[in-house]
Amino acid sequence: MPHGESGGAPGQPPFAHCCLNGFSSVHSHPRVLLYHLSRMHNIKMTLAYDGTDFHGWQAQPGQATIQGALTDVLRKITQEHIQIHAAGRTDAGVHARGQVVNFKARSELTPTEHQRAFNALLPATIRVVAAEELGPDFHARWNALAKTYEYRIYRGRVVPPFDWRFVLHYPFPLDEATMMKAARLFEGEHDFTSFAASSGSEEVDKDRTTVRVIYSSEVLRVGEELIFRVRGKSFLRYMVRKMVGTLFEAGKGKLKPEELTVLFEMRDRSKSGMTMPPQGLCLINVEYPDVWKG
């Protein structure tokens, strides 16, 4: 279609080109007036997703990601180029039951209509479980008070086919009581350098803040599963998975629980446990101040 017949240049609202000729031309295109007079709506959505087939949250060229899938759908719904913000950037293969995102759009769709539209157009492995409109200052990441993650370890001999995408299968001996004791030692404020992935830059690693506050940390036995549940203000990349790897070292008798204190002091990621596979990890929920509760 020749330029000028499409309703405006790329990135402009429909018929935005008429505005260039003065306000009087707007009256012949009321959609323009409605677009520019409509206020921005800040939409918060809670997501659940199976991260198995995605390369994590963050959009990447040529890769299937959660953010990329959401952005594509949002563009179809609103005809706007909009940034979607998440409470946390889950890595490739990591799941979520309570990820929180927000975006600002001029669309006059209600939150419920947004939810229905997203679920109609997203792959079945991503669901919008709740949606609401909040004030303009709400931000999914910066306003978060705490996040809770769980890492599931299936201890039985045979993993049920309904669970295999969401658990680490480990039927071999582990001292679970020792792991439960060690998990409690993560609680409090610590320097988690030993439990974080490198950024790939020595300069960035040197300057970044690696002190984190963990509100609760526990290992639970639930049926055939061993579940590590941790709640904290924020987390470093791979931090939870390396915490689990370190608990495995304790469970195998290679690390005494009290030696965790030494790992904090060493600030050396090579001394902690391995980074465990992603499929057992799930972002359970994100907490916000009461002012942002719907």
pLDDT digits (tens, 9 = 90+) for 44-94: 999 999 999 999 999 999 999 999 999 999 999 998 889 999 999 999 999
Which pLDDT belongs to residue 145?
Answer: 96
pLDDT tens per residue, range 229-264: 999 999 999 999 999 999 999 999 999 999 998 999
Active site annotation includes 91: yes
Which pLDDT belongs to residue 207?
Answer: 60
Q: What's the Rg (C-alpha) of the chain?
A: 23
Q: Where in the chain is the domain with CATH 3.30.70.580?
A: 38-134
Beta strand spans in the chain (E): 41-49, 85-86, 95-105, 126-134, 146-154, 168-169, 188-191, 211-222, 225-232, 281-287
- Tell me if the domain spanning 146-292 has CATH number 3.30.390.30: no
Task: State the pairing for strand pair 146-154/188-191.
Answer: unpaired
Which pLDDT belongs to residue 150?
Answer: 98
Which residues in the chain come in under a pLDDT of 70?
1-38, 199-207, 293-294
CATH top-level class of 38-134: alpha beta
Which pLDDT belongs to residue 226?
Answer: 98
Q: Where in the chain is the domain with CATH 3.30.70.660?
A: 146-292
Task: State the pairing for strand pair 95-105/211-222.
Answer: unpaired
Name the catalytic one among 50, 91, 175, 207: 91
Which pLDDT belongs to residue 217?
Answer: 98
Which pLDDT belongs to residue 31?
Answer: 46
The whole-angstrom separation of Cα 256 and Cα 235 is 24
| Coil vs helix vs strand at 250 | helix
Which pLDDT belongs to residue 9?
Answer: 40
Q: What is the pTM of this model?
A: 0.85
Which pLDDT belongs to residue 153?
Answer: 98
